[in-house]
Amino acid sequence: MKTFDPNAAALKDSGIFGLPFSIDEAELVLVPVPWEVTTSYGRGTAQGPQAVLQASKQIDLFDLDLGNFFEAGIAMLDESKDVQRWNKEASFLAQEIIAEGGVDANPDLQEIAQKVNQYSVQLNEYVYTQTKNLLDQGKRVGVLGGDHSTPFGAISAFLEKYPDMGILHFDAHADLRDTFEGFEYSHASIMHNVIEKTPLKKLVQVGIRDFCEEEFEYIKKNNQRIVTFFDARLAEQKLNGIQWSTLCDEIISHLPKEVYVSFDIDGLDPRFCPHTGTPVPGGIDLREAFYLIKKVAESGRKIIGFDLNEVSPGDVVLSEIADPAAEWDANVGARLLYKLCGWTLR
């Protein structure tokens, strides 16, 4: 750090945010997960971690709220070659099912789905092991997806260390579907899996505006563990003159002392993430998201970790020339990631 100039341009071989820290030196370590196997609409989120890494080097490091928090050290693991290979192999299998809209009663497709599910189990075990090892070393940990199925293993590891933690979930979607399209670990099922397969006590959802009736009934059935702030209701309250600060206080009141943030970027207004896989009109302004996260930290609660998912630079796999405007998604994603790092390190 003695020779590092935080006011200069990022060096070519620098790490996330242009920082010089090794994994051993960093207090907070990011786990990139290039995965989009069950993505059912737009693709490209597997390239999200690398796109965010590149965009992050344009960020000015001094933060008005948190000062030079980067000095604690932030670094990102290299992407796993195994995960890259699993993603490619499983995505190839999954495309036949996605094209048909699910497995239905087709035994051939059901067999393919089981193979895809096994790849997802391997992915969950990888993310769990990486997260647990880092937590055991006393590191703070964030996961950078990939689609929103990626943090299941991390959430499981966090719950072992912080059994009383709650999740603050930003999303356009409830993600409470059961085995969507035949995929047990679908991006549309992450929070259903968390509720059914972990001991999580409290899930607080914000920005939800696209969900099926089954999910709505599931929320009502599990109302002791799930509190959902639907985007339409939040918008109505703001139109009726209720301040965002007051709404944040209500949201935060349902969270325990230790908070894990799960942030699907499509929870934001899609003008901030137009290339995300499943954009939905409406949503939260970026400044509103920053303010809510800040208020969580300033409420006396502790942000213990996080994941950020569904940042997509467009379908760069199928197109030789990526949309130049897609850099915007990575730019916004990098700035959101930096704020999540800052409030976690605080």
Give the model confidence (pLDDT) of 277-327 as tens digits. Answer: 899 999 999 999 999 999 999 999 999 999 999 999 976 543 444 566 668
C-beta separation of 340 from 261 below 8 A:
yes
Is residue 325 within 8 Å of residue 49, measured between CB atoms? no
- Determine the Cα–Cα distance for residues 333 and 52; give it in Å rounded to an integer: 6
DSSP code string of 169-204: EE-SB----SSGGG-TT-TTSHHHHHHHHS---EEE
Query: Which residues on neighbouring strands pair with residue 54, listed in sequence order?
Result: none
pLDDT band at 41 (very low <50, low <70, confident <90, very high): confident
Position with higher pLDDT, 122 vs 105: 122
pLDDT of 130 over the 80 cut: yes
- Residues 6 or more apart whose Cβ sits within 8 Å of residue 254: 166, 202, 204, 227
In this structure, are strands 140-145 and 226-230 parallel, antiparallel, or unpaired? unpaired
Q: Is 20 left (phi over 0), alpha (psi -120 to 50) or beta?
A: alpha
Mean pLDDT confidence for 224-234: 98
What is the CA angle 217-220-226, rounded to 5? 120
Residue that the structure tokens 């942000």 belong to: 303
Select the more confidently predicted residue: 285 or 109. 285
Q: Does pLDDT of 7 surpass 90?
A: yes
Domains of the chain are: 16-340 (3.40.800.10)
pLDDT in tens, 138-153: 999 999 999 999 999 9
Q: Average pLDDT of 151-171? A: 98
Per-residue pLDDT, 324: 63
Quote the tokens at residue 189: 């099922």
**What distance in Å separates the CA atoms of residue 10 and residue 12, rounded to the nearest whole number?**
7
Whether 105 and 310 have beta carbons less than 8 Å apart is answered as: no
Q: Report the range of poorest mean pLDDT among 40-44, 59-63, 180-184, 341-345.
A: 40-44
Q: Is 301 helix (H, G, I), strand (E, B) or coil?
A: coil
> From residue 63, how far is each of 59, 202, 255 by CA, in Å?
10, 31, 26
Q: What angle do CA 204, 30, 93 make, to 5 degrees?
A: 80
* Amino acid code (one letter) for 81: K
State the pLDDT at residue 3.
Answer: 85
Res 73: pLDDT:
98
345 vs 73, 279, 303, 309, CA distance in Å? Answer: 9, 30, 8, 20
Buried b (16+ CB within 10 A) or exposed e, 175-189: bbbebbbbbbbbbbb
The pLDDT of residue 319 is 43
Across the range 52-64, mean pLDDT stands at: 96
What's the mean pLDDT in 217-226? 98
Give the pLDDT band (50/70/90) at residue 98. Answer: confident
Q: Could you tell me the maximum CA-CA distance found in the chain, to the nearest angstrom?
A: 63
Instruction: Give the strand order in the sheet containing 166-170.
Output: 74-76, 28-33, 140-145, 302-309, 258-264, 166-170, 202-208, 226-230
Percentage above 70 pLDDT, the chain? 96
The answer for residues whose C-beta is within 8 angstroms of residue 279's C-beta and 6 or more apart is 42, 172, 266, 270, 273
345: phi then psi, degrees, rounded to nearest 5: -70, -25
**Whole-number mean pLDDT of the chain?**
94
